[in-house]
Chains A and B, each alone.
Chain A
Amino acid sequence: RKEVEQDPGPFNVPEGATVAFNCTYSNSASQSFFWYRQDCRKEPKLLMSVYSSGNEDGRFTAQLNRASQYISLLIRDSKLSDSATYLCVVNIGGNTPLVFGKGTRLSVIA
């Protein structure tokens, strides 16, 4: 079983749609969780950290379910500029490395 698993997509959605990405992780000792965004042929950029209580940043909402070892990212009112690959990232804390999922590709269509 891979350490971090994501639905590869692609997700093709119209502008204005709401889209949700799911991610599961295998290591129950995981401490930190992130969503990164990666545009085509560019570097990953931190979109948001994910906290146990859930957190929201504008149109983006991240949720964490530790019992199910599951992380989600919800994008509301999708924009064309949201088209990218979204990477789920997990860290077991301390000085251990970040572990990335393969990413979920989103295409928002006009």
Chain B
Amino acid sequence: DAGVTQSPTHLIKTRGQQVTLRCSPKSGHDTVSWYQQALGQGPQFIFQYYEEEERQRGNFPDRFSGHQFPNYSSELNVNALLLGDSALYLCASSLGTQNYEQYFGPGTRLTVT
């Protein structure tokens, strides 16, 4: 039973660039949520995708966008990268949108220089 997978593991980008992060949910799950975790902080909710639509959004600017595919996998896109976007980006999957029993992937560590 495959768990949540994310790619890439690590990424280094320059200010102003764009980045795409990928997530495949746990087998049987249909909902993907994205979180940003800065060093020394708890994860902060970015948005959630269900049925290929953004269902909820946290307090993040429009530079953060996403997509969900028919196979439930998801992408997180960040445009015009800022130094402050350096963080661990976590994907969590669940069944339905009730947000119980979320399973996290190993994350993508993004460094913006």
Contact residues on A (Cβ < 8 Å of other chain), bracket: 20 to 34
Q: Which residues on A sit within 8 Å (CB–CB) of B106?
A: 42-43
B98 and A95 within 8 A (CB): yes
Q: Which residues on A sit within 8 Å (CB–CB) of B42?
A: 4, 87, 100-103
A97 and B104 within 8 A (CB): no
B99 and A97 within 8 A (CB): yes
CB-CB contacts below 8 Å: A88-110 with B: 91, 94-103
A32 to B98, alpha carbons, bound, how many Å?
11
- Say yes or no: is B44 at the interface (Cβ < 8 Å to chain A): yes
Question: Contact check: which of A46, A97, A100, A103 meets B101 at CB < 8 Å?
Answer: A46
A101 to B58, alpha carbons, bound, how many Å?
15
Question: Contact check: which of A32, A42, A100 meets B100 at CB < 8 Å?
Answer: A32
- Say yes or no: is B71 at the interface (Cβ < 8 Å to chain A): no
Number of residues of chain B lying within 8 A (CB) of chain A: 26
Q: What's the minimum C-beta distance from A43 to chain B, rounded to whole angstroms?
A: 4
- Say yes or no: is A54 at the interface (Cβ < 8 Å to chain B): no
- Say yes or no: is B61 at the interface (Cβ < 8 Å to chain A): no
A95 and B90 within 8 A (CB): no
A95 and B45 within 8 A (CB): no
- Say yes or no: is B63 at the interface (Cβ < 8 Å to chain A): no
CB-CB contacts below 8 Å: B24-49 with A: 33, 35, 40-45, 48
Q: Which residues on A sit within 8 Å (CB–CB) of B33?
A: 97-98
Q: What's the minimum C-beta distance from B21 to chain A, rounded to whole angstroms?
A: 14
A100 and B90 within 8 A (CB): no
A46 to B58, alpha carbons, bound, how many Å?
21
- Say yes or no: is A45 at the interface (Cβ < 8 Å to chain B): yes
Given known contacts A32-B99, A91-B99, what 12 new A-B pairs fall within 8 Å (CB)? A41-B109, A43-B90, A43-B104, A46-B103, A95-B99, A96-B56, A97-B48, A97-B56, A97-B58, A98-B33, A100-B35, A103-B42
Between A and B, 5 residue pairs with Cβ closer than 8 Å are A8-B40, A41-B88, A87-B43, A95-B48, A96-B99
